[in-house]
A and B are shown apart, each in its own frame.
Chain A
Amino acid sequence: MDIDGKYYRSFKDRIKQLEDQHSKEKVDKQHAKGKLTARERIDLLLDKDSFEEIDAFVVPETQGIEFGKVEKHYGDGVITGHGKINGRMVFIYAQDFTIMGGSLGIVHANKIVKTQEMALKMGAPIIALIDSGGARIQEGIASLSGYASIFYNIIRSSGIIPQIAVIMGPAAGGAVYSPALMDFVFMTSFTSYMFLTGPNVVKEVLNEDVSFEDLGGAEVHAKKSGVAHFIYDDEENTILGLKKFFSYIPSNNVENPPKIEGTNYTPDINPKLLDIVPDDSNKAYDVKEVINNVVDKGSFFEISELFAQSLITGFGRLEGRTIGIIANQPKVLAGVLDINSSVKGARFIRFCDCFNIPILTFEDVPGFLPGIDQEHSGIIKHGAKLLYAYSESNVPKITVILRKSYGGAYIVMNSKNLGGDYNFAWPTAEIAVMGPEGAVAILYRKELAESDDPKKLKAKLVKKYREKIANPFVADEKGFIDEVIDPAETRKKLITAFEVLSNKWVEAPSRKHGNIPL
């Protein structure tokens, strides 16, 4: 081809025009807000030179615009394509706030839909980098139809390929359902927001003053609503976090999670585990210490760290292989199960089940949180979600009872009869229908009332109850747990057990889908 010829020249001109579109002025404006541009974000996320863009030169719909104005430009405010993260293929779309505020018109939406369809066909994960002012008002109903198609595709891909949303700017109105439907949501503090109705509408309708940050900032969603699973202080760390997260998950629902070679392993026999759980069952401890001393060194990666902190969820690795970890956190509210922690746990279990990630449960739970507020808000149905998720999942499931395991919470936390494959207990475990104090108060109500020294009698009975009932040996002898193990050997036991379970399959009854209590 003649490189000075007309065709080649206009080909080159177009590329130059596309580059010019990202003028220094626009880039500086984005930077001044503490934000990176869409292209910079992609560069940070993907392996060097691995990004292949699709539909870079589409132009926005300008026909039939009767209200406002749409200027002609390339790409329509979104960059789509595929590339590699640590050598593995992902699809990506990144909204470009510098072009018409990243607003979503029909062409913009079609580009996203095309990417979604490709990701599904190829069985590769998809990442959405969201930074958009919302629907393009000029295009009217067409942009709404665009949103609907995107949502429809997310739902079709759900449970087949991992779908991750990274919020790096505004996400307002109906647009928030796109991240909400995906598997995980990352947010950057102070420069990203998510809400259905913004502060202005809140002010108009309810006459309440609220700032963007307080209504839908990253911190609010990480701590209060639980919408955001991960928050970071800046965009570079958000992307580093996302890359790290990616090393735990498989590309689709047929593959296994990736294996990591040559990490520093924790010793298989670890005496540190003997010192963490206090003998006094009224004393708190940090269950993350248990987790960190069991999984590969430094491999624990917590999910929804700031939300419903009485239940810990996260990924870890055993000999380089990903496991999903659920643990009651005695340090927070004694590790009680409440509405938020039940929902958090259930959602996490279902992700692991979709993507072939084995589940490890560390149990030390005093029960469900009592109270009018919890009951009236439906802890019954929300607690049932956790129960449902555990029973429904057919990935390998192992429970280690560290200490308390009482009542309904014992059943819920992956008990043997819910389908737990291996249920281990530490010698410190207390497995019973209820805690010693409560049981004694009910069973010996009369004796206690009549006693001269009820305090002393109660102490005696509690001691007896602990010896006779609230220990792991009764359950062990009856077969409700598989083995009482030496805490120091926990890791070794788990590695063997997960190895045995690596080919586990449980045939589910044929049905359209179950009816989880939503």
Chain B
Amino acid sequence: MKKWLKLSLWIVLIVLVGIQFVPVQRNEIEPVTNADFIEHYESPVVIGNIIRASCYDCHSNQTKYPWYSNVQPIGFLLQNHISEGKSELNLSEFGLLSNRMKRTKLKSILSQIDNDKMPMPSYLFLHSEAKLDSLKKTLLVSYFDSILVDIDR
């Protein structure tokens, strides 16, 4: 029994150390373009800062990685999460969408924020700066609403 235990622990350790060397593609290389939501709509600085802090880690090409993203398998998990978030909504490429798709995405954004579904609780657990208090929430909702109205015109 003891032998087994020891052997298994060693193998777990080796695997854990081993996966630290598997390269993870990072989501931070691409430069900001005109298609970027904040650039595209020339958002006010205050609004832009809230959107960057609360949405951009998972919904843009510019993730700000925490230190523990260098520890595997946490890094793998994060990367998975980010690509999922980007496939739903990539604010870095928002300007490239058709007006119709922009409206669709904006309605989803509004409903997610309004119903406190985004930013996700599991994300807020480690990113308190991303939390939308009622003031930030009101600001964002009325801002996104105004953009939606502009597209409808």
**Binding partners A and B:** no
Binding site for A on B (CB under 8 A): none
Binding site for B on A (CB under 8 A): none
